[in-house]
Amino acid sequence: MADGGGLAAPDGAERLAAVCAHLEEIRADLRDGPGGEHGPVERVLAAAHGGGDVVAPLAVLHAVLQAGGDPQGLDGYTDHAGAIRGLRPAGISTTRAEQVYLCPAGRCARYWWPKAAAPVPHCAISNSTLRRERL
């Protein structure tokens, strides 16, 4: 959806991008947590897939991750969603190319810079490859 499809807060797009880019890691963290269930992440995916509001399910997922021992919750995955999770010193950025790959629906803030011989990632919500844009 071009209009943002129910994303009411700027961090909603970043958090949805984090879920998309780190879905399997988040599922593993939930599985290893005290609840051991995937319900919160599946509710985010269902809301996003159905075009509904994802802000509330994202807040629940964030809180569940925090309750499971990750004080950053989803925000720990929001490293601009295309890079490896972790810290990046100020002033150091990833190499910019002429092309960038974005959320196929324009619904989240996920992006990915092309890498040699690396396949274009897929959206975890629609299973479509990320959309190529020229800078």
pLDDT digits (tens, 9 = 90+) for 25-84: 999 888 877 666 778 999 999 999 888 889 999 999 999 988 888 888 888 887 543 444
**What is the structure's pLDDT at 13?**
87
Using CA atoms, how far residue 121 sits from 3, 79, 111, 132, in Å, is 23, 16, 10, 11
- What is the number of structural domains in the chain? 1
DSSP state of 33: S
pTM for this model (two decimals): 0.65
Look at residue 51 in the predicted model and tell me its pLDDT: 86
Would you call 131 helix, strand, or coil by DSSP? strand
Give the rounded percent of residues in the chain with a pLDDT score beyond 90.
30
**Whole-angstrom Cα distance, residue 125 to residue 16?**
10
Residue range of the domain that includes 65? 1-135
Q: Which 8-state DSSP code applies to residue 97?
A: -
User: Using 50, 70 and 90 to split pLDDT, how confident is the model at 6?
Assistant: very low
